[in-house]
């Protein structure tokens, strides 16, 4: 009897049938499910007739990421497809129905998939239906590629077997990512491509998984064992991974034209033009066609130009040297690279064609294209930690090992390694899998922001569509009552749809952001995502990086504090010894074209020593076969070591362990010329450095001295040193681990750097504070330095209190706990005055486990009492991580009152932004683009300070090197948002005005004339809609923010009140006309359009004014835009249009009246009365918009309805304000059994 098996995917049985099971034993609890597949083995068609519902359940792809999607399988169903076609033909009227169905299926491919295919388990699917986290639907076709069998090329292989009745066992080989077929020479791979990413069938999980390179699951040891791939092995992988290209398709103009014409907007316009032509509106239809052709032409040109620009930006054609093993190297095109290839990096640099892990040598790399960081970085070989007994091998992690990874699109400036040896790297990602490919994917397929404005706009369109149905029904009723022909009934009724749903509405929604983008560009701020401009107008909180953003890029060396002497203000005055050697050698500086480049802090530190730096050259061979960077003093008295020795005093930097944000340190291994031993020099965060030192070498006054400088805003770096054992030789250096050398160090001293605030920082922070926009500092710097900078720039006011939130993980049997303590203020005594207590006489033996509770007498401890002002939390990255893990319910409170977040890693910055967004904040982030990429991308409005015109690291890139750009972006965002609201409301009211006009005229079997429509839609509406967005942003930020929703009570009141006034004027003037003694009602002629009549003349004349008045009323000025009269072009248009409309109303000369089809025999006093009514209407409209809608009284009335704030942060603010006993300052909060218990610490 054949054993029951758990389903994983299809396999081929000996008889050639397809098996849907593998042989993993299952429990009897799932017997019914397994029995089903047992039956399907012998009745394959049974699965088609009665599919297994459990196997057809949606499966999550990319679970837990921003690319998470639901995946459902579908297979071809000929019967269903034929039935769908028949229904379309029968119900849609033959070819017209088929054409409409094709259009609908093009717009909604998921409907087509459901209509023509049947749901099935994924392993039987020939198509998949995908739904992303934004509820967007996608369909993709499942294809098969055949790969030559060589399982070693694809990683691990799982063995599956099943037993036949005779007890024989047959093995079925399945890789974790491939599905076997009955072919001994090939493996079939079922896959589909979605948004430039490939998903392949994984038999072990019974689902498609994203194809990946050698990242995040590959042992570090694998890279050092890589011995190069043969051409055959490379070709096999090439079949699966495809070409190593970031392909940007530049479509032909013809294809772009077809795709653009099939857009719903243009399809609706084509429908409208056909309808107008049938109704004999040839002139208007022709004008619309001309305008559409011009619009499409410009749009096609821009689309193709952008595609060509992006293609040229990412294009890379280069020859790459690939190691084939042994001494064999081959130059191949970069497009042929696959993960696993071992490539060599030329000595004079190259542009990287892939992501690769460096395994030998060092590289100097310019990563500005990816990160916006202009300073070159040093890449070192990937460490290969020794694997202990019973330990899992260390895995390569993209983020953790980025200092050892060369990224695609970055420029390798130069390489450095043993003389004659090649610098090698292992390819880990190619094409769109690479870092550059992922960034290009984010440009090609941007994530929808979910901004409420656009959602509300779609709802409003649905309302207009509902009105169109009502208008359609009314038109049919009226035309039938007038006994019109079938053709006239259909044409007039359909014409009502074109009236109520204006074709220009989508364009009006974006006009504000288009003009704002142009204005920002003039200010040196570039935006690659225009929708973000509107979103930035709702900014409620701004996060700032500190160094290079709030403070100057460059650091000035204030002084050095050795462990055994007084403060030394000039580092060059230090005696020759380990501290001076550490400052001269512990850095990642390099010479590029004769100019020293590197981290600004390293540059200032090295320049202060007055030493020289020399790169490897033909003369630098005195340090064995390794050609290191050499540093040496320049003064005559220090260049020679002594009177009896002529050996130059030179230090060779043999190995660098680059700075890591997570480790908060960097170190180098050096050798002084003439010494037999090597030295380790380390610099980093003082707390981290001290923890790595021998306890007895750390001065007892370490904490007090550190706090003394950091409280006043200085940046403090600590140094340590040790001598390596002489048994460690040169050949050990490239494999030694930093953990082996960064321990048992001797503390050397502190370097005090002065990082001044930029002149623009404090005024900008005050400007944001005045506008009621929260400011938060998110930095990797020291906590007390950050708090000091926050006070100096105005984030924390003088009367406010800072509470330090320190969290510790569970250890030594104690649960995780949080302590709440007040921060200290420095007294008025300056640092210079405080030098009376020099920290030079440090005693050794400071306990590094002791908390920072000892303070210098030059600082004043604030007594624990209720603060007079607002309190702010200051949290370190370590504490933030502990609170996220053990005190998750504290995170919202920390975020609401947190102002300083220090020692934050790049990932933690992004996590903080996400936490703030979860509370309802619209978050902007401003940083230098280096360590802030994640936060810049996560924020609603990420602003990168960079000299480049555009950076893929953030939506906004500012060439203004300070935070003055932040208020500018917010002001322009507010102006764009208000403009979009005004344009949208105007287009909606334009539709309503015309709807009322046409409905009124339909009631007497009349209509507006062709030229009348032309004047209203082109001369008035198009002109004012185009120029009303030219109004510039108001120069000052105000506390109140514009509403972010069209459905906000203020906006709804505005629209509804104007609809009521508009209906009252149109209906009132129409009824007033009928009461005139000279009035003669229209006698409809069934064979005529009945345009030339009193009713049409009055309706047209009055409605013409309504369009102009509403355009002016919705062009509001302060507080978000400059006054209306400053928009000179718009004002000229209004004057011209008002003058021409007045001419048509009061005295249209005969030729003009005949051309526009107006009655000329209406009494002049009646015309004046109409003008008086219109004037009164104008006054009422402006009173309602400027004094009622904009009044604080109305806003307060609407707020009374809102009993509970919609944003979580407002609820938390209210809760914290009502709870004076929280936070528990002076106490410790423990995590016990997932509950928090407070106990007071004495």
Q: SS3 string of 557-588?
A: EEEEEECCCCCECCHHHCCCCHHHHHHHHCCC
User: Omega into 314 within 30° of 0, i.e. cis?
Assistant: no
Q: Identify the three-state secondary structure at position 857.
A: coil
Q: Identify the three-state secondary structure at position 124.
A: helix
Number of residues assigned to the chain: 1242
Q: How many CB atoms neighbour CB 134 within 10 A?
A: 10
Active-site residue flag, 331: no
Give residue for tokens 């064995």: 624
Phi, psi (degrees; rounded to nearest 5) at 689 = -60, -45
What is the CA 31 to chain-centroid distance, rounded?
47
Residue 1083 parent element (H or E)? none
Residue 1140 parent element (H or E)? helix 1128-1146
CA dist 414 and 362 (Å) reads 9
Alpha helices in 93-136 (DSSP H): 95-107, 109-116
CA dist 956 and 969 (Å) reads 9
Sequence-distant (≥ 6) Cβ neighbours of residue 963 within 8 angstroms: 544, 549, 550, 758, 760, 761, 764, 765, 926, 945
Phi, psi (degrees; rounded to nearest 5) at 364 = -100, 120
Sequence-distant (≥ 6) Cβ neighbours of residue 1093 within 8 angstroms: 1004, 1006, 1082, 1159
Instruction: Please give the DSSP secondary-structure letter assigned to residue 927.
Output: E
Q: How many helices (H) and strands (E) does the chain have?
A: 38, 49
Return the CA Rg of the chain: 37
Catalytic member of 19, 22, 202, 545: 545
Closest CA to 883 of 820, 806, 786: 806
Residue 1226 gets the label, from left (phi > 0), alpha (psi -120 to 50) or beta, of: left
Q: Tokens at residue 953, please?
A: 């690291």
> Can you point out the beta strands (E) in 650-739?
651-660, 665-672, 679-684, 715-723
CA dist 715 and 557 (Å) reads 10
Closest CA to 880 of 799, 988, 812, 779: 779
Tell me the C-alpha to C-alpha distance, in Å, between residue 1092 and each of 1099, 1153, 1157: 12, 10, 6
CA dihedral for 218, 222, 223, 224, sign (positive or negative): positive
Strand partners, 631: 613, 651
CA dihedral for 78, 80, 82, 85, sign (positive or negative): negative
Question: Are 953 and 1014 in contact, with CB atoms under 8 Å apart?
Answer: no
CA dihedral for 27, 33, 37, 40, sign (positive or negative): positive
The percent helix, strand, coil of the chain (3-state, each to 5) is 40, 20, 35
CA dist 514 and 2 (Å) reads 68
Phi, psi (degrees; rounded to nearest 5) at 1225 = -65, 135
Tell me the C-alpha to C-alpha distance, in Å, between residue 773 and each of 119, 767, 1037, 1039: 51, 9, 10, 8
Q: Identify the three-state secondary structure at position 1238.
A: strand
Closest CA to 632 of 603, 614, 615, 612: 612
Q: What angle do CA 924, 929, 934 make, to 5 degrees?
A: 65
**Active-site residue set:** 545
């Amino acid at each position: 009897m054949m054993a029951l098996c758990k389903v994983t995917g299809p396999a081929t049985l000996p008889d050639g049938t397809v098996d849907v099971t593998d042989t993993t034993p299952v429990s009897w609890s799932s017997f019914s499910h397994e029995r089903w597949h047992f039956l399907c083995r012998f009745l394959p068609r049974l699965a088609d007739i009665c599919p297994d519902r459990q196997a057809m359940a949606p499966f999550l792809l990319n679970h837990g990421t921003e690319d998470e999607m639901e995946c459902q399988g579908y297979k071809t169903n000929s019967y269903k497809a034929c039935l769908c076609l028949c229904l379309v033909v029968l119900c849609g009227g033959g070819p017209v129905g088929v054409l409409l169905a094709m259009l609908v299926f093009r717009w909604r491919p998921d409907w087509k998939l459901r209509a023509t295919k049947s749901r099935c388990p994924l392993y039987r699917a020939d198509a998949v239906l995908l739904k992303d986290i934004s509820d967007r639907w996608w369909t993709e076709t499942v294809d098969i590629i055949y790969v030559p069998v060589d399982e070693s090329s694809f990683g691990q292989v799982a063995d599956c077997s099943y037993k036949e009745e005779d007890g024989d066992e047959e093995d079925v080989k399945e890789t974790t990512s491939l599905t076997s077929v009955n072919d001994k020479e090939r493996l079939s791979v079922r896959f589909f491509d979605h948004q430039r990413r490939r998903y392949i069938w994984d038999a072990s999980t019974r689902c498609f998984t994203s194809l990946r390179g050698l990242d995040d699951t590959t042992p570090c040891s694998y890279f050092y064992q890589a011995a190069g791939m043969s051409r055959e092995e490379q070709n096999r992988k090439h079949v699966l991974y495809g070409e190593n290209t970031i392909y940007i398709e530049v479509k032909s103009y013809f294809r772009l034209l077809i795709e653009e014409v099939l857009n719903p907007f243009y399809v609706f316009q084509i429908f409208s033009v056909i309808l107008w032509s049938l109704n004999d509106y040839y002139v208007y239809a022709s004008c619309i066609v001309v305008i559409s052709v011009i619009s499409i032409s410009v749009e096609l040109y821009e689309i193709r130009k952008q595609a060509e620009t992006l293609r040229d930006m990412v294009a890379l054609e280069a020859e790459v040297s690939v190691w084939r093993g042994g001494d064999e190297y081959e130059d191949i095109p970069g497009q042929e690279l696959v993960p696993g290839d071992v490539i060599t990096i030329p000595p004079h640099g190259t542009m990287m064609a892939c992501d690769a892990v460096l395994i030998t040598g060092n590289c100097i790399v310019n990563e500005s294209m990816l990160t916006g960081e202009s300073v070159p970085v040093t890449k070192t070989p990937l460490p290969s930690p020794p694997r202990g007994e019973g330990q899992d091998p260390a895995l390569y992690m993209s983020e953790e090992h980025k200092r050892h990874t060369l990224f695609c699109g970055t420029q390798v400036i130069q390489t450095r390694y043993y003389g004659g040896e090649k610098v090698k790297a292992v390819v880990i990602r190619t094409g769109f899998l690479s870092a550059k490919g992922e960034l290009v994917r984010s440009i090609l397929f941007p994530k929808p922001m979910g901004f409420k404005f656009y959602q509300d706009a779609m709802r409003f369109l649905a309302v207009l569509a509902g009105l169109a149905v009502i208008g359609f029904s009314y038109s049919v009723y009226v035309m039938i009552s007038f006994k019109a022909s079938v053709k006239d009934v259909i044409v007039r009724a359909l014409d009502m749809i074109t009236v109520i749903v204006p074709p220009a509405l989508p364009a009006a929604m974006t006009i504000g952001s288009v003009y704002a983008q142009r204005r920002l560009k003039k200010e040196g701020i570039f935006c690659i995502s225009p929708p973000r401009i509107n979103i930035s107008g709702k900014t409620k909180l701004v996060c700032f990086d500190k160094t290079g953003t709030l403070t100057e890029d460059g650091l000035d060396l204030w002084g050095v504090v050795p462990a055994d002497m007084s403060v030394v203000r000039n580092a060059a005055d230090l005696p020759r010894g380990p501290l001076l050697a550490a400052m001269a050698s512990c850095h990642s500086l390099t010479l590029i074209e004769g100019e020293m480049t590197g981290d600004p802090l390293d540059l200032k530190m090295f320049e202060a020593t007055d030493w020289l730096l020399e790169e490897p050259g033909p003369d630098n061979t005195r340090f064995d076969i390794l050609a290191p960077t050499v540093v040496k003093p320049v003064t005559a008295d220090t260049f020679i070591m002594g009177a009896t020795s002529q050996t130059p005093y030179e230090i060779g930097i043999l190995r660098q362990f680059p700075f890591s944000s997570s480790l908060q340190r960097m170190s180098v291994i050096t050798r002084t010329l003439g010494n037999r031993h090597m030295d380790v020099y380390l610099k980093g965060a003082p707390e981290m450095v001290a923890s790595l030192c021998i306890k007895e070498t750390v001065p007892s006054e370490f904490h007090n001295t550190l706090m003394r400088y950091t409280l006043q805003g200085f940046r403090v770096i600590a140094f340590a040193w040790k001598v390596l054992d002489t048994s460690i030789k040169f050949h050990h250096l490239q494999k030694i681990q930093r953990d082996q050398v960064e321990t048992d160090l001797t503390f050397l001293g502190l370097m005090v750097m002065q990082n001044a605030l930029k002149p623009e920082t404090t005024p900008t922070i005050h400007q944001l504070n005045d506008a009621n926009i929260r400011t938060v500092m998110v930095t990797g710097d020291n906590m007390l330095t950050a708090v000091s900078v926050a006070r100096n720039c105005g984030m924390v006011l003088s009367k406010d209190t800072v509470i330090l939130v320190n969290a510790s993980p569970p250890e030594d049997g104690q649960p995780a706990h949080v302590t709440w303590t007040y921060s200290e203020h420095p007294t008025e005594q300056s640092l210079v005055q405080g030098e009376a207590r020099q920290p030079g006489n440090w005693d050794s033996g400071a306990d590094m486990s002791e908390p920072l509770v000892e303070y210098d007498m030059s600082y004043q401890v604030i007594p624990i009492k209720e603060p007079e002002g607002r309190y702010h939390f200051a949290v370190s990255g370590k504490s933030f991580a502990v609170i996220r893990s053990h005190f998750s319910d504290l995170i919202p409170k920390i975020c609401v009152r947190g102002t300083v977040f220090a020692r934050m890693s790049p990932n933690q910055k992004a996590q903080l932004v996400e936490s703030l967004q979860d509370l309802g904040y619209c978050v902007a982030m401003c940083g230098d683009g280096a360590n802030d990429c994640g936060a810049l991308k996560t924020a609603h409005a990420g602003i990168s300070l960079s000299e480049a015109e555009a950076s893929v690291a953030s939506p906004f890139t500012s060439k203004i090197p300070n935070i003055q750009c932040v208020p500018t972006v917010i002001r322009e965002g507010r102006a764009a948002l208000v403009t979009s609201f005004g344009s949208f409301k105007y287009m909606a009211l334009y539709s309503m005005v015309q709807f009322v006009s046409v409905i009124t005229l339909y009631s007497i079997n009349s209509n507006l004339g062709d030229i009348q429509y032309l004047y209203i839609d082109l001369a008035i509406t198009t002109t004012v809609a185009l120029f009303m967005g030219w109004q510039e942003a108001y120069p000052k930020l105000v506390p109140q923010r514009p509403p972010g929703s069209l459905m906000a009570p203020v906006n709804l009141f505005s629209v509804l009140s104007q609809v009521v006034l508009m209906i009252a004027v149109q209906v009132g003037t129409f009824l007033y006309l009928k009461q005139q003694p000279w009035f003669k009602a229209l006698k409809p002629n069934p064979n005529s359009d009945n345009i030339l009549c009193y009713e049409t003349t009055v309706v047209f004349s009055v409605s013409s004014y309504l369009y102009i008045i509403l355009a002016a009323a919705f062009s509001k000025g302060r507080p978000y835009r400059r006054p209306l009269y400053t928009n000179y072009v718009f004002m000229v248009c209004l004057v011209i249009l008002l003058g021409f409309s007045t001419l048509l109303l009061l005295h249209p000369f005969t030729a003009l009246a005949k051309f526009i089809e107006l009655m000329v025999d209406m009494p002049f006093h009646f015309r004046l009365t109409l003008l008086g009514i219109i004037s009164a209407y104008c006054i009422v409209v402006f009173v309602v918009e400027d004094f009622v809608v904009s009044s604080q009284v109305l806003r307060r009335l609407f707020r009374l309805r809102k009993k509970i704030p919609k944003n979580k942060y407002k609820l938390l603010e209210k809760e914290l304000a009502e709870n004076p006993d929280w936070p528990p300052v002076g106490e410790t909060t423990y995590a016990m059994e997932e509950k928090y218990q407070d106990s007071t610490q004495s």
